Amino acid sequence: MSNNENLLSIRDLTIHYFTDDGVVKAVNGINLDIARGETLGLVGETGAGKTTTALGIMRLIPDPPGKIVGGEVIFDGTDLIKESEKKMRHHRGFDFSMIFQDPMTSLNPVLTVGDQIAEVIRLHDKVSRAEANKKAADMLELVGIPAERINEYPHQFSGGMKQRVVIAIALACNPQLIIADEPTTALDVTIQAQVLALMSELREKFGTAMLLITHDLGVVAEICDKVAIMYAGQILEYGTLEDIYNNVCHPYTKGLFGSLPSLNSRVKRLSPISGLMPDPANLPEGCPFHPRCPQKCEKCTVKEPPNVEVTPGHFVRCHLFDNGKEG
């Protein structure tokens, strides 16, 4: 699952929340790799552990009650789990940045957008205020906002424009990795497409790697090179975009595709996956998907499935593939 070109390698990452009601097992031994310039889509339903994974990489898990209880997050050769808080602050400002679903959580309502972009530039480069302002204006233009709007405040922008400002801020420090958590979910559909196209264009221009968190397989198809399907804190299927879209293996991934409306499909009704994601404080024994799986057998209810490499780089965690191919 790894090569030397990887910018980010996650190994056996395990994150739990210790609450009065028990241990919430949010992330349970996941492995992921992102090469330089590559985009990985982390896909799953609400509560799958996607955002906890992102916060774990950034070392922003609220502690208590959260704790990274095991694993490694190797970024550019350094294990972030072992870094001091001071070094992590440096990484967060310089090496990676995060785009959240709601742009207002990232923007300061009392500062102009220009000041917010310039602030990041000045933290990163030792430049004068005037130079930082000039670069901030360039960044605004880059994300499709006229530079004349540099002295306006966040509330003067629409939702899509605000998210463009957030993207400008995220790119201003020229990070190697962007973690984008449902960056277009809060936007109208047409604006979503524009923001996605912009992210894709900028990613190519700057060669930035990206971890894109989403529940939307359509978004993944637009922009990702690799896909990880997450469920109950585990990665159930992992591979290239082609592996996942043309050779889908895991019953859960098949279920996700079955829930998608298709213009080409003659099938009138969608077939959503029945049931709900299990409570992470009370995960079922065996395969976490077994209560909802149409293909489960007795073994699935007692034994955790191994992570099987069905073709090079395509991993599936399901007993149907215990022998390397669908049984």
Residues 285, 302 contacting (CB under 8 angstroms):
yes
Nearest distance from C-beta of residue 209 to ligand SF4, angstroms = 30
Cβ distance to ligand SF4 smaller for residue 49 or 66: 49
- Helix (H) or strand (E) run with residue 30 in it: strand 22-35
- Binds ligand SF4 by CB under 6 A, chosen from 293, 308, 310, 315: 293
- Binds ligand SF4 by CB under 6 A, chosen from 295, 309, 313, 314: 295
Nearest distance from C-beta of residue 290 to ligand SF4, angstroms = 4
| Residue showing tokens 């990206």 | 210
- Binds ligand SF4 by CB under 6 A, chosen from 223, 300, 308, 310: 300
Classify strands 6-19 and 22-35 as parallel, antiparallel or unpaired: antiparallel
305 binds ligand SF4 (CB under 6 A): yes
Nearest distance from C-beta of residue 41 to ligand SF4, angstroms = 20
Both tokens of residue 307? 């992570």
CA gap 209, 232 in Å, rounded = 26
CA gap 138, 136 in Å, rounded = 5
Q: How far apart are the first and last CA of the chain?
A: 23
315 binds ligand SF4 (CB under 6 A): no
Nearest distance from C-beta of residue 288 to ligand SF4, angstroms = 8
289 binds ligand SF4 (CB under 6 A): yes
169 binds ligand SF4 (CB under 6 A): no
Residues 196-215 that bind ligand SF4 (CB under 6 A): none
- Nearest CA to 57 out of 151, 179, 234, 155 is that of 179
117 binds ligand SF4 (CB under 6 A): no
**Which among 49-57, 126-134, 167-175, 313-321 is the span making contact with ligand SF4, rule CB under 6 A?**
313-321
- Binds ligand SF4 by CB under 6 A, chosen from 25, 59, 226, 296: 296
319 binds ligand SF4 (CB under 6 A): yes
- Nearest CA to 15 out of 33, 6, 28 is that of 28
- Helix (H) or strand (E) run with residue 137 in it: helix 129-142
- Binds ligand SF4 by CB under 6 A, chosen from 166, 168, 232, 287: 287
Angle (CA) 23-28-31 rounded to 5° is 160
164 binds ligand SF4 (CB under 6 A): no
User: Which residues, 6 or more positions from 4, have their beta carbon under 8 angstroms from its beta carbon?
Assistant: none
Number of residues binding to ligand SF4, judged by CB under 6 A: 12
Q: What sections of 154-188 are H helices per DSSP?
A: 159-172
Residues near ligand SF4, by CB under 6 A: 251, 287, 289-290, 293, 295-296, 300, 305, 318-320
